[in-house]
Amino acid sequence: MKSDPAAPVAVVGGGFSGVMTAVQLARLGIATTVYDGGPNPGRGTAYGTTDPRHLLNVPAGKMSAFPHDPDHFRAWAGVDAGTFVPRRDYGRYLEDIRAAHPRVTLETRTVTAIERDGEGWRLRFADGGQAHASVVVLALGNEAPARPGGWDGLDLQLNPWSAAAMAEARRAGEEGDPLLLVGTGLTMIDVVMLVEDLALDGGIVAVSRRGMMPRAHGPYEPAPVTAEELPFGSLMAAWRWLRKRSAAVGWRAAVDSLRPHTAALWQSWSDTDQRRFLRHARPWWDAHRHRIAPEIAERLRQLVADDRLTIMAGRMRGEGAQGPVIANRRGGTRELAHPAAINCTGPHSNVRRSANPLLRQILADGLAAPDPLQLGLQADSEDRVAPGLFAVGPLTKGMYWEMVAVPDIRHQAERVAGSIAKDLEPHG
């Protein structure tokens, strides 16, 4: 089959990381085609929501898509810097940016495989078509959710964004059954916002091993630190430093002071320390680092106060006569009768078990390798996973850890675009 006309660069994935890498390439004069066969092409999962109750987790003043124009989004939205804007509006912002750069083309096609084609790449699509590109950027976003361990016997809706999950929640409301949410992080909060208007007389029960919810944003006095003040090389030393710093300046200021240094701290730790962080410290870090809008926190507080939402630290012990038995950390149990159950544990975090056919093909063909923690792909210092093949966004978490939010990815998109531009320069 004849290949379609090619742009020099193909970006696979049309969320923030893919669109902004393409935009940064366009600003360097390089034409790019973004391929996105998902339900929200050009917006991605995070900004594809249409519900106004889904707010950004970062205030507008920190959400510019461009590293060197920090006021860009706030000015576009016409709001104060501290406003938490609906995520659907941020999706429109991305669309406007893309539309302003004619060298960026968005095609709603699913890439199923890539293969070497001379010095470039051949992309194969679900519709049977093909295209060629000199460089490919993998911007696949977060992995799809997977079944959490310990909940094997539960009839669980694995994809919280699916129509089936919302239909099951409505069924619970109509029949007076409880709604069980497995996970208490940001995904759980999004689902609660979607179902809070349902007549859920059976209540909402959210369960995770530690029962930790994301904390709320709040005012604080920034307390920046230099790299020289930080204890690199040891997770325990960093943890002790953070506790001491939190006592001195407040936990919000202490956690946020690490933002410019997170990647360097992560890279200074041994594999053992990184694994220890993922196993023990990650829930605490995520709850304090990835905070929610104050108005969302207040709505959750009210739902708890009204006994409409229960947050539990526990796990499934087994099946009772009418439904799952949840054991809490204090030894008590609670049986939920005929619950609707939705998986809210967030993205899957083992790239070797990816549900993405393209990623599985890339690994199976040896075109790229997993990072040592199997969080994503192994990459060099320029985010190159193979000659002419780059990764951006969550696929590079193993290298940087914090590579899931706009304030981090916008820098990476600019940096990767610069590296690609150098690779495409004629030699000789």
Quick one: three-class SS letters along the chain?
CCCECCCCEEEECCCHHHHHHHHHHHHCCCCEEEECCCCCCCCCCCCCCCCCCCECCCCHHHCCCCCCCCCHHHHHHCCCCCCCCEHHHHHHHHHHHHHCCCCEEEECCCEEEEEEECCEEEEEECCCCEEEECEEEECCCCCCCCCCCCCCCCCEECCCCCHHHHHHHHHHHHHCCCEEEECCCHHHHHHHHHHCCCCCCCCEEEEECCCCCCCECCCCCCCCCCHHHCCCCCHHHHHHHHHHHHHHHCHHHHHHHCHHHHHHHHHHCCHHHHHHHHHHHHHHHHHHHCCECHHHHHHHHHHHHCCCEEEEEEEEEEECCCCEEEEECCCCEEECCCCEEEECCCCCCCHHHCCCHHHHHHHHCCCCCECCCCCCECCCCCCEEECCEEECHHHHHHHHCCCCCHHHHHHHHHHHHHHHHHHHCCCC
Mean pLDDT confidence for 385-399: 97
Residue 255: pLDDT over 50: yes
Band the pLDDT of 1: cuts 50, 70, 90: very low
Q: What is the pLDDT of residue 428?
A: 44
Mean pLDDT confidence for 224-253: 97
pLDDT tens readout for residues 260-277? 999 999 999 999 999 999
Q: What is the pLDDT of residue 320?
A: 80
Pairing of strands 120-125, 130-133: antiparallel
Q: What is the pLDDT of residue 5?
A: 52
d(CA 389, CA 383): 9
pLDDT tens readout for residues 8-61? 999 999 999 999 999 999 999 999 999 999 888 999 888 999 999 999 999 999
Contact 103, 29 (CB under 8 A): yes
Mean pLDDT confidence for 335-359: 92
By mean pLDDT, which of 138-152, 204-218, 241-255, 259-273 is the weakest? 138-152
d(CA 45, CA 153): 28
Band the pLDDT of 120: cuts 50, 70, 90: very high
Band the pLDDT of 6: cuts 50, 70, 90: low
Q: What is the pLDDT of residue 70?
A: 95
pLDDT tens readout for residues 156-214? 999 999 999 999 999 999 999 999 999 999 999 999 999 988 888 899 999 999 999 99
